[in-house]
Amino acid sequence: GAGVSQSPRYKVTKRGQDVALRCDPISGHVSLYWYRQALGQGPEFLTYFNYEAQQDKSGLPNDRFSAERPEGSISTLTIQRTEQRDSAMYRCASSSQQRTAGNQPQHFGDGTRLSIL
Amino acid sequence: DAKTTQPNSMESNEEEPVHLPCNHSTISGTDYIHWYRQLPSQGPEYVIHGLTSNVNNRMASLAIAEDRKSSTLILHRATLRDAAVYYCILRDQGAQKLVFGQGTRLTINP
């Protein structure tokens, strides 16, 4: 079946512009996660949703970052007034829900490469 | 999440077994041991996970020490496509997020 789909694959924008990154999880997956990955580093958690509810946003760097998942499927990560330090690979993952979350694999998309000029 | 310690890099030869070690001396009783790998220019890929017993799947085997303070990911017959960064991650049973460390960069020689 189809995996996690992210769009666009690449986004180049000028500093100060807003950007919206989209994630389409695996069909039926209840949980959706956003991570950010700097070059040469492992992914860093940003936020996650169960269905449409944002359960943890502790990893969002500041209030310019927000995410939503209004119908419990597709999610959008929005960065307002972008800065050069926001340049990174943004990755989305999804998983089906089980009673013990730690026992459930996450499936990652190929990411969106964001470059702020 | 408890921390893990992995070698920065390892090298092996094609068609030979590879044993990737991970130390997690502060693991708690409810921590699952997860392994992910990331091939160049791709997102992380789930490999295997376990709690106490050794685990096998089509990709690899996971050997967990009896005291659970260390584990080893075993690739039985490495191919060039196994060249990747391998991450060992502890994840509490109730934890949603994955906390990635630096991982081990595995190089496979032809």
- Residue pLDDT, tens place only, A94-112: 998 766 667 789 999 999 9
User: Nearest 10 degrees: CA dihedral of A43, A81, A18, A78?
Assistant: 40
Beta-sheet strand order (sheet of B104-109): B9-13, B104-109, B84-92, B31-38, B45-50
Pairing of strands B9-13, B104-109: parallel
CB B73 within 8 A of CB B47: yes
Which pLDDT value is given to residue A37? 96
Q: Name which of B30, B32, B103 is nearest A42 (Cβ-Cβ).
A: B103
Which pLDDT value is given to residue B96? 84
Is the CB of B59 inside 8 Å of chain A's CB atoms? no
Kind and range of the H or E element at B34? strand B31-38
Judged by DSSP in three states, B81 sits in: helix
What mean pLDDT is reported for chain B? Answer: 94
pLDDT at B2 over 70: no
Question: In this predicted model, what pLDDT tens digit does every residue of A59-82 receive, in sequence order?
Answer: 999 999 999 999 999 999 999 999
Which pLDDT value is given to residue B92? 85
Q: Name which of A35, A42, A100 is nearest B102 (Cβ-Cβ).
A: A42
> For the residues A37-58, what does the mean pLDDT come to?
94
Question: In this predicted model, what pLDDT tens digit does every residue of B63-106 receive, in sequence order?
Answer: 999 999 999 999 999 999 999 999 999 988 888 889 999 999 99
% of chain A beyond a pLDDT of 70: 96
- Which residues in chain A touch residue B43, judged by CB atoms under 8 angstroms apart? 4, 91, 93, 108-111
Q: Which residue, among A21, A42, A45, A19, has the nearest Cα to A31 in the 3D structure? A: A45
